[in-house]
Amino acid sequence: MKHYISKIASAAGCVMMAVSCLNFSPEVQLSDAQVWSKADNFMLFADEFYEWTRDFRGSTSANYMNGVVDGVHADTRSDLLCQSSINAFSAGTNSIPATDANYTNLYKRIYYVNLLLQKAADFEPQEDIAEPMGEAYFFRAYLYFELVQMFGDCIYTDIPVDVDNEILYGPRTDRVTVIRNCIADLKAAASLLPESPSADGRVCRHTAWAFLSRVGLYEGTWQKFHNEDYAVSTEFLNEAVAAAENVMNSKKYALFSNNTLGGRDSYRYMFILEDNVQCNPANLHKSDNKEYILARRHNETLKPIGFNITQGCLNNAYWPTHKLAMMYRCQNGLPVELPGGGTNQQYGGENGENSEFENRDYRMNGTMMMSGQTYWNNDESRSTWAAGETGMVAKRTANSGYANYKWCTERSVDSELEGFDYPVIRYAEVLLNYAEAVYEVNGNAGNSLDGGSITDEDLNKSLNLVRRRSNPGMTALSNALVSGNGLDMREEIRVERTVELFMEGFRIDDLKRWKTAEDEMPEDLLGIKYDGTWYATNWTNMPREKKDGYILLYSNRTWDERNYLLPLPSDELQLNPELKQNPGWE
């Protein structure tokens, strides 16, 4: 059985003390000689860091870890997914909070990584603690990147400071400097961490490079589209390209695909792999998955997910939108609606019960169930796993008319005990980071927001691997396909990213960095086409209003420029007026 990292930092002698709004622990209760004299204690202390990553409750649930409601990265904040009550951020009605546990927890955790690094400076020999030092550098970058994504500029410190330190009562550091520090930390981490992934799920050298590709892409595009600072944008995008290439060239990771499952189902089953149980027709387990670069690990016995993710995802708790459905390309590589008017000839239309699924990207049905489709869940589970076994439950038509299929087990397991892992970073994202960063950095030379470029060779070694993992027969994205059909390469790259990473906590952050939220977020959230279709005859008790023939889920959504950053909580501003509130929230 694999080692599952747990909260054992207390074994290193560190006692948490609530001493302020930031909840720092400014002193170690045991003496330095007791705590920091052994290399093993550094490793035990670093174990705590792995409890700080994203998890299911931040991306697929309305509840965020540590009791903070409404995960800041959740797709329910975006334009593609909603629930029975509209998310305040999605509606544009969020306000300044009195307190924000995201803010306080991040700074509390930064204190601990800085503490480890401070104590490490006096330890000899340094090579004995290289790995926990590398982990501290990695997680410091992880934490500060979270702060930048949420709040922009932020107080930066690389030493553990108590609540009386003047640093905490000064102004914020500009985001560009913070991101440069994150990149420096990730490079330091890469120089200290082991070369290869470990069986126990700890970060390695290429985890740092993979995360650097995310950080560089995010800030490179933010600086481009928000500030038109092409020099800084180019700096960060080049970092993203180089970091992604390091991961790609390492050959340590691969997209999950299996001949028994086939391209159509490999994508779906990857997300529900478990250890030592039959959880898919090919009897594959987590050890067969080389795509996850960093995962938040779960196990049915030792560390279950802790809420009923299968029933929650299957039973119409999440409502995918018509906008998401329209993003999936047809097998000829083209969108449903062609530029300049007209409809893709491969598209089956919306009149039939499931005609819009015809000839589409297989990830569409890997993510959304078709009307009447049978499926298994942890109550009505698979029995033989034989080919052709008939599903036990038929999907009912409700809410948006679409139903989520992602994160749903097919085996018998008690509710809340599902044990699949959450992909914090996976190889598909790195490949997509590479393609987008190459395209955008190539467009920066002209100091214009319009245009970019990427070669077919670069597409084929990155984005098309992701696209064709699920769709071996799908037409590859190429410059000829784009130019010959009046498409926009930037849009095609963004769509590929969106459908691949749906419900993994990327969409709202992507809209922010692209500065397209002002256009995308005010749109009405719509479900299936109802008027003049199979549904008008067969779904006679549909309870919702309609707009232009489509089910209307939510309307009157707004977006203000201020929403590109979250407001600082009012208690922090009272403690330190030098912070200053984010623009538009004053």
How many CB atoms neighbour CB 180 within 10 A? 16
Q: What is the pLDDT of residues 170-181, one digit of tens each?
A: 999 999 999 999
Same domain, 321 and 381: yes
d(CA 495, CA 405): 19
Same domain, 233 and 262: no
Tell me, yes or no, whether 438 lies in a domain. no
Same domain, 272 and 391: yes
Question: Which of 293, 308, 282, 329 shows the shortest CA–CA distance to 464?
Answer: 329
Tell me, yes or no, whether 483 lies in a domain. no
d(CA 217, CA 377): 37
| CA atoms within 13 A of residue 486's CA, in its CB half-sphere | 7
**Element spanning 144, H or E:** helix 130-151
SS (H, E, C) 245-256: HHHHHHCCCCCC
Q: What is the pTM of this model?
A: 0.94
Same domain, 237 and 269: no
Same domain, 234 and 351: no
Q: Please give the structure tokens belonging to residue 132.
A: 């926990």
Tell me, yes or no, whether 496 lies in a domain. no
How many CB atoms neighbour CB 191 within 10 A? 13
* Burial grade of 299 (CB within 10 A; 0-12, 13-18, 19 or more): buried
Q: Which whole-number Å values give the CA distances from 446 to 221, 228, 263, 320, 551, in the listed order?
A: 15, 12, 40, 38, 43
**Cβ 185 vs Cβ 138: under 8 Å:** yes
CA 71, 77, 79: angle at the middle one, nearest 5?
Answer: 155
Cα dihedral sign, 251-255-260-262: negative
> Which pLDDT band holds residue 145 (cuts at 50, 70, 90)?
very high
Listing DSSP states for 58-125 in one string gives HHTSSB-GGG-BS-TT-GGGSSSEE-SS--HHHHT-----S--HHHHHHHHHHHHHHHHHHHHTT-SS
- For residue 180, what are the domain limits? 9-57+102-248
Mean pLDDT of 120-131: 97
Q: Please give the structure tokens belonging to residue 257.
A: 């695909």
Tell me, yes or no, whether 176 lies in a domain. yes
Which segments of 154-255 does DSSP mark as H helices, in order? 175-192, 205-227, 230-250
Q: What is the pLDDT of residues 373-384, one digit of tens each?
A: 888 998 889 988
d(CA 370, CA 364): 9
Residue 389 has pLDDT above 60, yes or no: yes
**Cβ 531 vs Cβ 547: under 8 Å:** no
Of the three residues 374, 400, 420, the one that is the final residue of a domain is 420
Rounded to 10°, the helix 205-227/427-443 angle is: 40
> Which pLDDT band holds residue 365 (cuts at 50, 70, 90)?
very high
Q: What is the pLDDT of residues 546-586, one digit of tens each?
A: 999 999 999 999 999 999 999 999 999 999 999 999 999 99
Tell me, yes or no, whether 68 lies in a domain. no
Same domain, 212 and 271: no
Same domain, 262 and 205: no
Same domain, 112 and 132: yes
CATH number of residue 135's parent domain: 1.25.40.390
Of the three residues 214, 248, 282, the one that is the final residue of a domain is 248
Same domain, 14 and 39: yes
Tell me, yes or no, whether 316 lies in a domain. yes
> Which pLDDT band holds residue 3 (cuts at 50, 70, 90)?
very low
CA 251, 463, 448: angle at the middle one, nearest 5?
Answer: 120
Mean pLDDT of 97-120: 95
Of the three residues 420, 447, 465, the one that is the final residue of a domain is 420
Chain Cα centroid distance, residue 153: 22
Question: Which of 387, 382, 197 shows the shortest CA–CA distance to 286?
Answer: 197
Same domain, 272 and 244: no
Indicate the residue type of 398. Answer: A
Residue 14 has pLDDT above 50, yes or no: no
Mean pLDDT of 125-154: 98
Residue 27 has pLDDT above 70, yes or no: no
Q: What is the pLDDT of residues 413-460, one digit of tens each?
A: 998 999 999 999 999 999 999 999 999 999 999 888 988 999 999 999
Same domain, 320 and 230: no
> Which pLDDT band holds residue 165 (cuts at 50, 70, 90)?
confident
Q: Strand 403-404 relative to strand 368-369: parallel, antiparallel, unpaired? A: antiparallel
Residue 33 has pLDDT above 80, yes or no: no
Q: Strand 525-529 relative to strand 550-554: parallel, antiparallel, unpaired? A: antiparallel
Rounded mean pLDDT of the chain?
A: 91
Which pLDDT score is estimated for 43? 96
Percent of residues, the chain, with pLDDT higher than 70: 92
How many CB atoms neighbour CB 119 within 10 A? 22
Q: What is the pLDDT of residues 49-100, one digit of tens each?
A: 999 999 998 776 544 333 333 689 999 999 999 988 888 999 999 999 999 9
Residues 6+ apart with CB under 8 A from 245: 434
Domain count, the chain: 2
Question: Which of 550, 579, 540, 558 shows the shortest CA–CA distance to 168?
Answer: 579
**Cβ 420 vs Cβ 409: under 8 Å:** yes
Q: What is the pLDDT of residues 227-282, one digit of tens each?
A: 999 999 999 999 999 999 999 999 999 999 999 999 889 999 999 999 999 999 99
Same domain, 225 and 279: no
Residue 21 has pLDDT above 80, yes or no: no
Q: Please give the structure tokens belonging to residue 467.
A: 């696209």
Residue 20 has pLDDT above 60, yes or no: no
How many CB atoms neighbour CB 381 within 10 A? 15
Tell me, yes or no, whether 542 lies in a domain. no
Mean pLDDT of 343-354: 96
d(CA 15, CA 25): 7
Residues 6+ apart with CB under 8 A from 164: none
Percent of residues, the chain, with pLDDT higher than 90: 79
Tell me, yes or no, whether 343 lies in a domain. yes
Indicate the residue type of 415. Answer: S
Which pLDDT score is estimated for 390? 76
Which segments of 280-426 does DSSP mark as H helices, in order? 309-314, 322-327, 362-367
Which pLDDT score is estimated for 60? 63
